[in-house]
Structure 1
């Protein structure tokens, strides 16, 4: 007698954890529409909005904030972990989990520990080139460990890539270019720069892009600039008739169309952003966030070293840098083509299916054993 297979995904907190989790969930659902998929999160994370909107079951556990590095703050963690692990173990039993997949962050650590104590196999996926504490612990407990970037220093890590939404991973930029540019009020045939700093925008990118507006449009380069919904002071005067447009929007609802419209991006270097750009073959000038442990710079380096983009430090980005480095590339079709080709070569558009293969393989023995035992763990 067959039993519905059950997968638990732990990826709450930030979009960098949630988006690959949901991309994997979609890939698993394509394989088996009857598969039970349960997402773990906390009441304070973005997952409370994003997960139900994608049609997946979200179960909440107590948050366990983790320091980025081993410090005295670790002394406060054990008490929080005990409660979260107990709640998560009860949930794993309730849904008869066959495998737990963790994406790091404060939801993943209790999931790893609960799975280990309950005898449920673990798969870890690390998005960043510099792993966090939760995944460093989880990797030691896991059956398989997948990483986004080659060379990621994580125990037994296999290069799989970043699971992405199919709207991005299957995007044909060339086929959608005319439609995409029309959607944003851009000319069909001009070289196009996309400027964006994440969902909230980025002050450094906003200042530099606006300051370079005259130099860019005078060179025949049009710009699509997402300033962030709160940055209403970021404006560009209208261009003279016949000149290249500079279009400023608050937010990009359709990143697939933004990518299709662009020839080059100027952006931060979050793990999902880097993975999406390389998957669709869109070269970029990456501006790593100047705070934290330097992980954004590490995220961008494999693509830059492959010839698929440029790297500029936050403190060095200004209108002069854009004029000196980006205008020559954007006005040279052969250079753009070369960057795009190398960016695409660094991408992994089928990472969602690769990770789904691993998850189903790891979970298969537990599912078969539970079927034979009548559903008992």
Structure 2
């Protein structure tokens, strides 16, 4: 008997990959042949190759920029080439469905799937669709959204609000293991600082510029991004720099009491599921399309998080930002206990497979 086949796609940042990673074990249990189409050098290649039994295929893709760059003139040709490569892959693999998590590498795959008459299910994590998903959504058979308000920005007749997909392994983190990994004692509250998979100079500078004051009351786990360690602060008691966390992240979160973080959808919903009081520092509008600002303001309106704009960081020391978070903690914890807008990976897979050929 031939096993059913699914193609997953998405990349560029860890947020465009983590949902797919959550679905892979469920699809494997359902005896699906799993293929992943990503870029040649994106973070998705590294992350997906950790999963046994998933065939990874690299195609060309062009970054979709909202600013001037010479590459804006050449990347459309890379996208066209990627469509051709994806089309040939899909005709050979013959999946019953494609699941797209977004990111620039997903565009050629979605277009190729449409040409090959293979249904595409897309997933949008942010309040408003990103540029890649805006291009792809007209070709999707169905669209799932994390935020209910996103339904105002996508075709209503083929869209469903499902909430966030939270990886079960996040709940398996052990505080003791997190303390062992970091060398912290657990005698003081722990603040985890997360700047996203690529790191954040603004968040790195914020915590480091005031680290002496912060360490008077708290220990700090600092996920600073690859290549962003500060050698001058290595060995400071209570301050641990980690460039990037994968399988150890659940333990690091279990060991943490508070979070200072960017406002990517996946990260903030995971912190919500773990009931970690969080201060959101969204990527500024000058550096992005403003999706993190919308995410942060939505959480703030529901009293699920505190928010400070990136532009304010140079004027407000980290110790004061943490103090503000501590002050809001009782309200945040009360509201987080009421929130339940999440799906398990198994529930999500079942919804996706409703649309396969």
TM-score, reference length from structure 1 = 0.81
User: Any conservation in 1 of the 2:34–2:55 contact (CA below 8 Å)?
Assistant: yes
Q: CA deviation at 1:265?
A: 0.8
SS at match of 1:119: coil
| C-alpha distance 327-78 of structure 1, shift in aligned 2 (>3 A) | closer
User: Any conservation in 2 of the 1:4–1:36 contact (CA below 8 Å)?
Assistant: yes
Q: 1:274-285 residue pairs with structure 2 within 5 A?
A: 274-285=268-279
Matched residues in 1 for 2:225 and 2:84: separation?
40
Stretch deviating more after TM superposition (41-50 or 159-168): 159-168
**Aligned residue among 236, 241, 255 for 1:249:** 241
**Aligned residue among 107, 112, 115 for 1:114:** 112
Q: CA deviation at 1:317?
A: 1.7
**Aligned residue among 324, 333, 341 for 1:340:** 333
**Aligned residue among 316, 322, 331 for 2:318:** 322
User: Any conservation in 1 of the 2:228–2:243 contact (CA below 8 Å)?
Assistant: no
| C-alpha distance 318-141 of structure 1, shift in aligned 2 (>3 A) | same
When the two chains are superposed, the root-mean-square deviation of aligned CA atoms in Å is: 3.1
SS at match of 1:64: coil
Q: CA deviation at 1:349?
A: 4.5
Instruction: Please name the residue that 2:283 is paired with.
Output: 289
In the alignment, is residue 359 of structure 1 matched against residue 357 of structure 2? Answer: no
**Aligned residue among 193, 196, 200 for 1:195:** 193
TM-score, reference length from structure 2 = 0.85
Unaligned runs of 5+ residues in structure 1 are: 240-244, 367-377
Aligned length: 348
User: Any conservation in 1 of the 2:277–2:333 contact (CA below 8 Å)?
Assistant: yes
Q: CA deviation at 1:261?
A: 1.4
SS at match of 2:221: strand
User: Any conservation in 1 of the 2:279–2:325 contact (CA below 8 Å)?
Assistant: no
1:18-49 CA-partner distances (Å, limit 9, x unpaired): 2222222223223x1x2111110121222332
| C-alpha distance 292-235 of structure 1, shift in aligned 2 (>3 A) | same
Matched residues in 1 for 2:324 and 2:307: separation?
16
Instruction: Please name the residue that 1:371 is paired with.
Output: none
Q: CA deviation at 1:97?
A: 1.2
Q: CA deviation at 1:328?
A: 5.3
Stretch deviating more after TM superposition (45-54 or 306-315): 45-54
Instruction: Please name the residue that 1:159 is paired with.
Output: 161
Q: CA deviation at 1:164?
A: 4.0
In the alignment, is residue 177 of structure 1 matched against residue 170 of structure 2? Answer: no
Unaligned runs of 5+ residues in structure 2 are: none
Q: CA deviation at 1:356?
A: 0.7
Matched residues in 1 for 2:91 and 2:28: separation?
21
SS at match of 1:151: helix
Instruction: Please name the residue that 2:303 is paired with.
Output: 307
Q: CA deviation at 1:343?
A: 3.7
Structure exhibiting the larger radius of gyration computed from Cα positions: 1
User: Any conservation in 2 of the 1:171–1:280 contact (CA below 8 Å)?
Assistant: no
Matched residues in 1 for 2:212 and 2:134: separation?
47
Stretch deviating more after TM superposition (180-189 or 351-360): 180-189
Q: 1:1-377 residue pairs with structure 2 within 5 A?
A: 2-30=1-29, 32=30, 34-55=31-52, 56-68=54-66, 79-152=77-150, 153-156=153-156, 157-168=159-170, 170-171=171-172, 176-218=174-216, 220-233=217-230, 235-236=232-233, 246-253=238-245, 254-290=248-284, 291-318=287-314, 320-327=316-323, 329-330=325-326, 335-343=328-336, 345-346=338-339, 348-363=341-356, 366=357
Instruction: Please name the residue that 1:242 is paired with.
Output: none
Q: CA deviation at 1:73?
A: 8.5
User: Any conservation in 2 of the 1:146–1:355 contact (CA below 8 Å)?
Assistant: no
Q: CA deviation at 1:307?
A: 1.3
Matched residues in 2 for 1:315 and 1:301: separation?
15
